[in-house]
Each structure stands twice: as structure tokens, then as C-alpha cells.
Structure 1
Amino acid sequence: MNRVAVVTGVAQGIGRRVAEVLAEEGYALVLADILDPVDTLAAVRAAGADALTVVGDVASEAYVNGLADQVRERFGRVDVLVNNAGVSLLVPAEETTAAQWRRVLDGGGGSIVNIASIAGLHGVSDRAAYNACKHGLIGLTRTLAGEWGGRGVRVNAVCPGWVKTGMDAADQASGGYTDDDIVERVPMGRFAAPGDMAQAVAFLANPARSGFVNGTALPVDGGWTADASWTSLRLRKR
């Protein structure tokens, strides 16, 4: 049987691309979102994946219980859990799934990948709640890695830099920043793409590639968190 991955927040952006990449790598998929991810479902099935859609709000304990039951009934197991649901829901979703997915993943193996942010590694002004959420998610990642590593369950986080998604478009529309603000700050000179995050998730999900990687917060940010240079110096190096 194919390895089974549950991905939350799959209707668009990073979550959708994660689902597509895992489908291309042969995973069976459970697609969870508050919106019906019809386009994502079509894409992963076109890639040959066996897929189940479960629509609902991951902040609801009843929904998460039902999701776990449906996964167990359809596939009998979970190998990978990718927590990518919307920003304001990440922490409550994690508090719920810590108990539920422990029951599903108690077969002695598996990988949980949380989608955090570089805002979980550093502070970003005007984003206090977002920063607190992402710092907390990274702390939870490390705690669960320690608690569950002995059972063969690895828990890691991917920390994206600025990604070109609908969320970015909304932030820019509010006047928060421009493309130049981001591009000039990133040593690689571009925004991240959802595919950059999806490939990192695929790496952390696969025990053949990352079987001894546990409790890490992996920046996928083009060098943002590595570079303390000022803007003019950074731009002179291009």
C-alpha cells in the first residue's frame, strides 16, 4: 500500500503544492480544508493519487476527531501529517491533534511536518500575534520531537520566507510592503514559491531522505535568516 499523507489547508497556496508534490511521489492523500479543495483534489488524482477530501475547520475538536476516524477507516494508518492550516488556527489545531494523531501514529513510525515561518525564528514588526503563534509552533515541534522520537515518529517544521500566495497579495494590498522590500532583503533576490516549500516538506516526510532528522526548524527562505548585512551591502554582492 502507498504511504498515506494527511495535509491540512490544501485549497490553495503552499498546502495545495505540498499535496501535488506528495501525489507525484506516490502518496495516498487526505485533503483537509475549511473550503472544499476541488481543484487540489483534481490535481492529485490526475497525478495518480488515491485521495480523500474531508472538509471542515481544524480548530474544531469534533472535526479533528471525525477526520482521524475517516482516515483510519479509509486507509488504516497515517505515515505523514502536514499541518499547514491557516495562521490563526495553527496553535489550536496542534493542541487538538497532539492527542488525536498520537492515536493514529502509534504504529511505531511516521513524520509530522508543521508549516511555521521565519517569523517563528525572528521577530517581525506589526505581527505580534503571528510571531507568537509561529514561535509557539516551533516550540511544540521540538517538544513533540523529544516525546515521540522514541516511538519512531519524527516531528519537524518548515519555516518559509516570503511566499508569493494570495496571503502575500492581501498583505501588499494593505500597504504593508512592496515586492522590492522583500526581494532586496533576500540574498537569493526573489520571493519563495509554494513549490520550494513543497519540496522541503517532501524531504522531511520521506524516511529514506531524512530518517534521522527530528526536531528541526528548517528555514526555506533564500538566506533571509542567515544574512545580517544591510541592504546596500547585500545588493552590491549581486
Structure 2
Amino acid sequence: MDDDRVAVITGAAHGIGRRTAEVLADEGYLLAVIDREPVSAFDALSFVGDVSDEDDVERFVELVEARYGRADVLVNNAGIASIGPAEETTAATWRRVLEVNLTGPFLLSQAFGRRMLVRGAGSIVNIASVAGLMGVADRVAYNASKHGLIGLTRTLAVEWGGRGVRVNAVCPGWVKTEMDDASQAEGAYVDTDITEHVPMARFAQPDDIAKAVAFLADPARSGFVNGAALSVDGGWAADGSWQSLRLDSRSR
């Protein structure tokens, strides 16, 4: 067991979290996962709980310690979206989004980070968003949570990097997941709103994000990467073109 690498993944039932679990399992990691619903798609220690609930986090950490005795990698992926005008966003919605998307990663990072610091090694990867790098209309709580998650990432990287624990963030663009399906079903946007903006002219797939996570998790590949906010967005955050110029550049 001492030679096995252990990865903890939140929100692993669907989408990015599920694909990340599959990719890390293929790379030889033992898995421990937490989600609001049971995760049975792959071999893992699975715990049903809420990442924003301190008691659930404590019980989950105890289970991981009892089963594996360690966690080498923590992937804070669990998150929820909220779409609507800022002036209509309720305080309850604001609090819930920040609780799941920001407080949850803090609680998990603190709990597992303490143990990583004792061992002098570990990697924490937070799943942020391009919405953490810029403003996106009608997503005030989500944007704030992801900006905060990048701030948390950088702060922990500064505090813990010299003690052997690296902390980085992955910033996906729009990804084809169940969350995207739900947003489109609500009429928030259509495929072309995204593909016409992204320089690579497509959505991300969960595999694109999972492979970036695997890179940041592995000290052999990213051992001097610490405090980074890695955009995996097909160039979305880099593109300052207006729409006609953006689309014209593809046909030259």
C-alpha cells in the first residue's frame, strides 16, 4: 500500500469528475470519491456526502485515512451553476453556490492538506473556470466562486509550496457535460454561442480537462508547477477579437 498513489476526487459521479477518476485510475491511482449521489462506475472508496458540510468532510477524510492511510492527490471538482441576472440572484442562491464551489474546496484542501504537509508531499488541483478569469454575464455567484477558487489556489500554493505540497487550478471553458445540457435546456445559450467564440471552434470534452488534471497531479511531469491557473479552453480567454474578425480568421 505504501507504494500506491491515492487520488481523492470530489463530484465524481458525472462529467469532468467521472472522467478524471477514470484517467487517474488508468494511470495507476487508487481512488476515493465523494459526491451527493453514489458513485459505482469504477473501483473506488465512495462516500455520499456534501463537500460544504464540515461533518461530511471529516467523515470522508477519516474513511480515506482508514482505507489508504494517505492521499497523494486531491481534485476539488464538485461544483454547481446558477444562471440569472445579478439583480435577481437571491442571497440564498449566492450562499449555496459559494458554499459548494469555494467553501467545499477550502474544507477538503485544509483537511487533506494538513496530512500532506506532515508527509511533505502532495498535489491539489482545483477545477476553476474561465469564469474565474473574466466576467461572464448572468453568473454572478458562479463567477465570484471561481474567482475565489483561483485566489484560494494561489494562496495555498504560496503557503504550502515550500513544504512539498503543490496547489494549482485548471480553468475549463465550456465543456460538454450534464451541466451544459441543463444550461442549454434552460435556454441560456446554444452550441454556436460557444463554438463561434472558441478559437478551436469546439466545446471541450471531459477528457481534455481530465488529462490536464493528470498532468498537474504528477510530480514527475509538473513538479515545478505551483500556483498556476491553467486555461483549458481552446483559447477562449486569449481571444480579444470582435465576432466578425474572430470568424473571418478561420476562413483565411
TM-score when normalising by structure 1: 0.94
Match of 2:71 in 1: 78
Give the alignment partner of residue 66 of structure 1, picking from 41, 56, 59.
59
Deviation string for 1:155-190 (max 9, x for gaps)? 000000000111111111111111011000000000
Give the equivalent residue in structure 2 for 1:189. 201
Cα shift at 1:103: 2.5
**Are the equivalent residues in 2 in contact too, given 1:68–1:104 (CA < 8 A)?**
no
Give RMSD over aligned pairs.
1.0
Deviations 1:19-43 (A, max 9, x none): 000000000010111100122x2xx
* Correspondence list, 1:86-97, <5 A: 86-87=79-80, 88=97, 89-97=100-108
- Tell whether the 8 Å contact from 2:113 to 2:165 is kept in structure 1 after alignment: no
Q: Deviations over 1:44-78 (max 9, x none)?
A: x3xxxxx2111111111011111111111111111
In the other structure, the counterpart of 1:28 is: 30
In structure 2, runs of 5+ residues without a counterpart are: 81-96
| Structure 2 match to 1:229 | 241
| Residue identity in the other structure for 1:201 | V
Aligned equivalent of 2:171 = 159
Which shifted more, 23-32 or 92-101? 92-101
Q: Secondary structure at the match of 1:58?
A: coil
Sequence identity (%): 63
Pick from 213, 216, 223 the counterpart of residue 204 of structure 1. Answer: 216
Counterparts of 1:124 and 1:13 in 2: how far apart (Å)? Answer: 22
- Alpha-carbon distance in 1 for matches of 2:126, 2:108: 12
Per-residue deviation, 1:99: 2.9
| 1:48 alignment partner in structure 2 | none
Matching residue's letter, 1:96? L
Mapped partners of 2:201, 2:113: distance in 1 = 40
Q: Which moved more, 1:13-22 or 1:53-62?
A: 53-62
Q: Which runs of 4+ in 1 moved over 4 A?
A: none
- Checking the alignment, whether the CA contact within 8 Å between 1:19 and 1:29 is kept in structure 2 is yes
Q: Using the alignment, how far apart are the partners of 1:34 and 1:61 within structure 2?
A: 14
| Equivalent residues of 2:76, 2:125 under 8 A apart | yes
Tell me the amino acid that sits aligned with residue 78 of structure 1: A
Secondary structure of 2:37's partner?
coil
What residue identity is the alignment partner of 1:131? N
Count of residue pairs the alignment pairs up:
229
- Cα pair 1:7 1:84 within 8 Å, conserved: yes
Structure 1 residue 2, shift from structure 2 partner? 1.7
Give the superposition deviation at 1:102.
2.5
Structure 1 unmatched runs, 5+: 46-50
Query: Which stretch of structure 1 is more off in the superposition, 213-222 or 167-176?
Result: 167-176
Q: 2:45 aligned with 1:52, yes or no?
A: yes
Distance 1:201 1:69 in 2: 24
Shift of the alpha carbon at 1:104? 2.1
Q: Could you tell me how far apart the structure 2 residues matched to 1:201 and 1:98 are? A: 16
Number of the residue aligned with 2:89: none
